């Protein structure tokens, strides 16, 4: 049965990736030069999707970013993982703010019906707002800080967009705590703080981690938009610059990198999440 | 003087009267058992004593003081164990000890934890979490946790209700041994008359709900230590058992079945055909709406 698992977990996904690469290759376009009878050369585009670079061409044109992933040649010409690293750092900061704000708000929502009645409508209204809409507000809010405005605006945007899953899942988790656990706390006469840290938090932890995981996904989703708008250096900004330069291969490289990093982040969080599953 | 006392207690949830006119007094050191139907309000009764809920009328008092809130002087073993799933057996017991005896040193606490784990025979499973335990083991942890806080009265809410007959017998023996050794006041809730007779000094049946109330006292005079096998042939045991079962099945203890029906008295006036028919047919209402009534029939 071990070999079956290996096939399911490794061979089939790899085969799927290979198949996708093949399809990509088949539908992508290429530019070929042809020598005309009058001696001049003409460039013509061929293929099903003429402007989509194929996998081989993408590899050729972007390999300098990949083979030296941490190189720094110029500000806008750096290894792909170096760009990714810049993005990850700001995502981490914004995400941390989101958790620090979101968790207590979630607890308040879960514990206090009054707080829920007061603020739940506002939360429901703010929650679906796109990062593209928050970003300008963020920059304006922190305009007074001068050079740091972009940075703080970016953090603001990431934090506020990534906060909601944490808020909502924590609230649901707190409301789902069985009365039995609270009865234990009452019989033992635990103080408020003890009840919070010995009963409420551990009982909510699985829900909190589901929220944290979704929040991280959103934080990573937001970074590209944020970097495009602020011009802050990072993977999203790289993508945008290369688009402006007409270098479509770099766009594809960026998309793949963003996807892989997002996937890895999610995997890591899901491992953590499983670690905290109880009951 | 009675140690634990309920006087004229009633309790309803909304319009659902669960307990009415409950009077009960238990002496210090007594082992009392309440036997009753499922859903009668046994947990509600024990929650009132634990202080988790307040009575609508009447008073619950211990040592002459009215009970207004829960506290570790009344050790409640919950019907569904209520172990904290993220803590191991040891940590569950430790949490209780820490909360109730904050002044103890770490050594004292650890010693007490180990003592109570051993008392219920779970030395080999101390590091496991509740999910990794069988029902019987969970029940033991729950019992150990409650014994560890050294309550003045032990409230056992159907402690063995969810267990199979064999495990039940073993745990009954353990509960019997522990309660006799500690000499604590015990209120045992159960749905099994045999279990009540085996463990208790006195049995009080609880009639079926809604509006359950306590029946007459049935003192258990069988000598201790009691032997389960010998007991089954004891004429006193058989007589007592019959008396309790008969009371529960008799008019005092029986379920009052009531059937509630909705009756619709039909319209006597026909609808008005002169009114024009509209697209959605809303205007052609009967001139007098059907009359609705509710009829309740009680079956005794
Ligand atoms: N918190 C509550 N809110 C509303 N109704 C309740 C509540 N707790 C109990 N009841 C009702 O009170 C009645 C008695 O419930 P209780 O749990 O005390 O029964 P029980 O005798 O312990 O039953 P079992 O043998 O199944 O444990 C039931 O009809 C139940 O629906
Ligand atoms: Mg019950």
**Which H, E and C letters describe B11-26, residue by residue?**
EEECCEEEEEEEEEEE
Across the range B263-274, mean pLDDT stands at: 64
Contacts of B149 in chain A (CB under 8 A): 188
Residue A147 belongs to a domain with what CATH number?
Answer: 1.10.3720.10
On whether both A124 and A228 belong to a single domain, the answer is yes
On whether both A33 and A79 belong to a single domain, the answer is no
Q: Which of A88-97, A135-144, B103-112 has the lowest mean pLDDT?
A: A135-144
On whether both A256 and A136 belong to a single domain, the answer is yes
Q: Which of A182-186, B101-105, B164-168, B258-262 has the lowest mean pLDDT?
A: B258-262
The pLDDT score that the predictor gives to residue B162 is 78
For residue B278, what pLDDT band results from cuts at 50, 70 and 90? low
Whether A232 is in a domain gets the answer yes
On whether both A101 and A45 belong to a single domain, the answer is no
Whether A66 is in a domain gets the answer no
Query: Taking the model in full, what pTM does it have?
Result: 0.80
CB contact under 8 A, A199 and B131: no
On whether both A210 and A251 belong to a single domain, the answer is yes
Whether A208 is in a domain gets the answer yes
Pairwise pLDDT comparison (A186 vs A51), residue with the higher score: A186
On whether both A199 and A111 belong to a single domain, the answer is yes
* Structural domains of chain B, with CATH: 4-249 (3.40.50.300)
Q: Which of A188, A189, A278 sits opposite B86 (nearest CB)?
A: A278
Across the range A196-212, mean pLDDT stands at: 93
Whether A62 is in a domain gets the answer no
CB contact under 8 A, A187 and B70: yes
Q: Is A73 exposed, middle or buried (0-12, 13-18, 19+ CB in 10 A)?
A: exposed
The pLDDT score that the predictor gives to residue A31 is 75
Across the range A210-226, mean pLDDT stands at: 92
For residue A279, what pLDDT band results from cuts at 50, 70 and 90? very low
Pairwise pLDDT comparison (A104 vs A48), residue with the higher score: A104
Q: Which of B74, B84, B100 sits opposite A184 (nearest CB)?
A: B84
The pLDDT score that the predictor gives to residue B225 is 82
The residue contributing the CA closest to ligand 1 atom 1 is B13
The answer to whether residue A169 scores a pLDDT higher than 80 is yes
Q: Per residue in A35-80, pLDDT tens?
A: 888 878 877 777 778 788 888 888 888 888 888 788 788 777 788 8
On whether both A85 and A196 belong to a single domain, the answer is yes
Whether A184 is in a domain gets the answer yes
Q: Which of residues 99-138 of B touch A (CB under 8 A)?
A: 99-100, 129, 131
Across the range A162-185, mean pLDDT stands at: 94
Whether A272 is in a domain gets the answer yes
For residue B138, what pLDDT band results from cuts at 50, 70 and 90? very high
Contacts of A189 in chain B (CB under 8 A): 70-72, 99-100
The residue contributing the CA closest to ligand 1 atom 9 is B44
What distance in angstroms lies between residue B296's CA and the mean position of ligand 1's atoms? 23
CA A46 to chain centre: 35
Q: What's the CA gap between B186 and B199, in Å, rounded?
A: 10
The pLDDT score that the predictor gives to residue A131 is 87
Whether A63 is in a domain gets the answer no
Across the range A110-116, mean pLDDT stands at: 95
| Ion ligand 2 contact residues with beta carbon within 5 A | B 42-43, 79
Contacts of A184 in chain B (CB under 8 A): 78, 82, 84
Across the range A191-210, mean pLDDT stands at: 93
Q: What is the DSSP string of B16-61?
A: EEEEEEEEEEE-TT-EEEEEE-TTSSHHHHHHHHHTSS--SEEEEE
On whether both A154 and A250 belong to a single domain, the answer is yes
On whether both A89 and A226 belong to a single domain, the answer is yes
On whether both A21 and A97 belong to a single domain, the answer is no
Across the range B42-52, mean pLDDT stands at: 95
Q: Per residue in A76-99, pLDDT tens?
A: 778 888 899 999 999 999 999 999
CB contact under 8 A, B86 and A199: no
Best mutation target, B77, B86, B145, to test chain A (most A CBs within 10 A) = B86
Phi, psi of A30 (to 5 degrees): -145, 160
Q: What's the CA gap between B300 and B255, in Å, rounded?
A: 8
Pairwise pLDDT comparison (A74 vs A116), residue with the higher score: A116
On whether both A183 and A274 belong to a single domain, the answer is yes
Q: How far is B230 from chain A (nearest CA, A)?
A: 39
For residue B275, what pLDDT band results from cuts at 50, 70 and 90? low
Q: Which of A189, A194, A279 sits opposite B85 (nearest CB)?
A: A279
On whether both A121 and A225 belong to a single domain, the answer is yes
Return the residue of A nearest to B51 by Cα: A187
User: Residue A6 sits in which domain range?
Assistant: 2-52
The residue contributing the CA closest to ligand 1 atom 31 is B39
Identify any residues that bridge with A78 across adjacent strands, giving them in sequence order: A72
Query: Mean pLDDT of all residues in chain B?
Result: 87
Q: What's the CA gap between B240 and B261, in Å, rounded?
A: 40
CB contact under 8 A, A202 and B86: yes
- Counted domains in chain A: 2
């Amino acid at each position: 049965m071990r070999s079956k698992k290996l096939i399911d977990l490794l061979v089939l996904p790899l085969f799927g990736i290979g198949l996708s690469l093949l399809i990509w290759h088949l539908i992508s376009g290429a530019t070929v030069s042809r020598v005309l009878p009058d001696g001049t050369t003409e460039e013509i585009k061929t293929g099903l999707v003429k402007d989509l670079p194929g996998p081989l061409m993408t590899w050729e044109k972007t390999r300098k970013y990949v083979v030296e992933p941490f190189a720094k040649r110029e500000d806008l010409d750096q290894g792909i993982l170096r760009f990714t690293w810049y993005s990850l750092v700001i995502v981490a900061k914004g995400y941390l703010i989101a958790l620090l704000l979101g968790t207590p708000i979630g607890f308040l929502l879960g514990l206090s019906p009054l707080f829920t009645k007061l603020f739940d409508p506002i939360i429901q209204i703010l929650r679906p707002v796109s990062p593209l809409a928050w970003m300008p507000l963020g920059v304006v809010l922190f305009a007074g800080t001068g050079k740091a405005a972009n940075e703080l605006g970016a953090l603001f945007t990431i934090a506020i967009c990534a906060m909601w899953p944490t808020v909502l899942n924590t609230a649901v988790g707190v409301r789902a705590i069985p009365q039995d656990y609270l009865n234990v706390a009452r019989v033992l006469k635990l103080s408020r703080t003890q009840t919070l840290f010995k009963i409420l938090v551990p009982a909510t932890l699985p829900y909190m981690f589901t929220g944290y995981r979704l929040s991280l996904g959103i934080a990573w989703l937001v970074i590209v938009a944020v970097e495009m708008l602020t011009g802050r250096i990072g993977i999203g900004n790289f993508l945008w610059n290369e688009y402006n330069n007409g270098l479509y291969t770099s766009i594809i490289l960026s998309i793949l990198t963003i996807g892989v990093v997002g996937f890895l982040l999610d995997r890591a969080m899901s491992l953590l999440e499983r670690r905290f599953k109880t009951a | 003087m009675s140690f634990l006392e309920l006087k004229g207690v009633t309790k309803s949830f909304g319009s659902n009267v669960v307990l009415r006119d409950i009077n009960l007094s238990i002496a210090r050191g007594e082992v009392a058992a309440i036997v009753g139907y499922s859903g009668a309000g046994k947990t509600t009764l024990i929650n009132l004593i634990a202080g988790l809920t307040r009575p609508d009328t009447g008073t619950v008092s211990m040592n002459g003081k009215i009970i207004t809130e829960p506290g570790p002087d009344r050790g409640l073993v919950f019907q569904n164990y209520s172990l904290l799933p993220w803590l191991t057996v040891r940590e569950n017991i430790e949490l209780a000890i820490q909360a109730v005896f904050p002044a103890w040193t770490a050594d004292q606490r650890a010693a007490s934890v180990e003592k109570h784990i051993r008392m219920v025979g779970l030395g080999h499973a101390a590091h496991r979490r509740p999910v990794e335990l069988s029902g019987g083991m969970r029940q033991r942890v729950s019992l150990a946790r409650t014994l560890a806080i050294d309550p003045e009265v032990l409230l056992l809410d159907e402690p063995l209700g969810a267990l199979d007959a064999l495990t039940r017998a073993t745990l009954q023996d353990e509960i019997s041994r522990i309660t006799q050794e500690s000499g604590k006041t015990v209120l045992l809730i159960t749905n099994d008359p045999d279990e009540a007779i085996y463990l208790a000094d006195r049995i009080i049946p609880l009639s079926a709900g809604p509006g359950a109330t306590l029946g007459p006292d049935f003192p258990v005079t069988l000598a201790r230590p009691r032997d389960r096998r010998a007991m089954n042939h004891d004429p006193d045991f058989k007589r007592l058992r019959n008396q309790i079962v008969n009371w529960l099945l008799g008019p005092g203890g029986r379920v009052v079945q009531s059937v509630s029906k909705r009756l619709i008295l039909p319209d006597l006036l026909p609808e008005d055909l002169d009114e024009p028919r509209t697209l959605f047919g809303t205007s052609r209402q009967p001139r007098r709406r059907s009359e609705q009534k509710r009829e309740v029939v009680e079956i005794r």
